[in-house]
Amino acid sequence: MTIEDNALKPDWSAPDRVRAISTTRSGGVSGRPWNSLNLGVHVEDNSEHVQENRRRLAESLGLDSARIGWLNQVHGTEVVELTPNNVGQVVKADASYTRHPGIVCAILTADCLPVILADREGTVVGAAHCGWRSLCGGVIEHLVSAMALAPGTLQAWLGPAIGPDGFEVGPEVRDAFLDHDPKAGHAFRAEGARPGHFMADIYALATLRLNHLGVSGVTGGGLCTVQDSDRFFSYRRDGRTGRMATLIWLTD
């Protein structure tokens, strides 16, 4: 099976010219504990293995590896527009978008939530890295604003992330989301293993943000990276581990 065969594909109604996948950990050359398709260069894996994994990924998808827009993700809210002039540079940002066919928006995760967006006409696509800090800080709002289309024309897909039974957070995390929107309270259960802690549903938190913006077509969610060790890397489960990639791009 190829990397594309093992990958997840969005269950949405985007136009045919919109392509998107989310990789699993299968199909690469990295050894333990990054086995096998680690795509992150910052996790102490052999750099030659990572580059081979990225080459295999591009080859499997029929992409030019030089046109995949890898980011230096810092759990912030910066958004970059990917163009032919900057796609080869690694910029500090947690979201990207493009209107250029063949240029790929890429997000690396191992528990954080990847969110991809596309308009219903297939003119622009984007991707956001949503750890709780970037999600709470407004990375989705910044991305939707930068894409410069009416939110009602957009649809979103939520890739694999830490599920609500694995994501224990402190009260300061819950308070930060409630300060932004009291409706976020439904995404927290007071059942944490530690007193005063909560179990958080990052899928529900992202959906709330998207719906508040007017992005009503939200699909995906429900796949827990912590619980599915066969398919997914998980930083919270393993600590030293690899990274999956969620990619979205336009074809000609």
216 falls in which pLDDT band (50, 70, 90)? Answer: confident
pLDDT digits (tens, 9 = 90+) for 196-211: 999 999 999 999 999 9
pTM of this prediction?
Answer: 0.96
Strands 168-169 and 198-200, how do they pair?
Answer: antiparallel
Q: Looking at the predicted structure, is the pLDDT value of residue 17 above 90?
A: yes
Domains delineated in the chain: 3-161+215-250 (3.60.140.10)
pLDDT computed for residue 192 by the predictor: 76
How confident is residue 97, by pLDDT bands cut at 50, 70 and 90?
very high
* pLDDT, tens digit (0-9, with 9 covering 90-100), for 109-140: 999 999 999 999 999 999 999 999 999 999 99
Using CA atoms, how far apart are residues 206 and 134, in angstroms rounded to an integer? 11
**Per-residue confidence (pLDDT) for residue 240, from 0 to 100:** 96
pLDDT of residue 34: 97
Confidence class of residue 1 from pLDDT cuts 50, 70 and 90?
Answer: confident
Query: How far separated are the first and last CA of the chain, in Å rounded?
Result: 26
Percent of the chain as helix, strand, coil, to the nearest 5: 30, 25, 45
Distances (CA, A) of 113 to 16, 60, 125, 152, 242: 24, 24, 17, 22, 15
State percent of the chain over pLDDT 90: 96
> Tokens 């540079």 label which residue?
89
Q: List phi, psi (to 5°) of 5.
A: -60, -35
Tens of pLDDT, residue by residue over 178-197, are: 999 999 999 999 987 789 99
Q: What is the mean pLDDT of residues 161-190?
A: 97
Task: Kindly report the average pLDDT of the chain as a whole number.
Answer: 97
Which of 94, 92, 97 is closest to 108 using CA atoms?
Answer: 94
Residue 156 has pLDDT above 80, yes or no: yes
Q: Predicted confidence band at 42 (pLDDT cuts at 50, 70, 90)?
A: very high
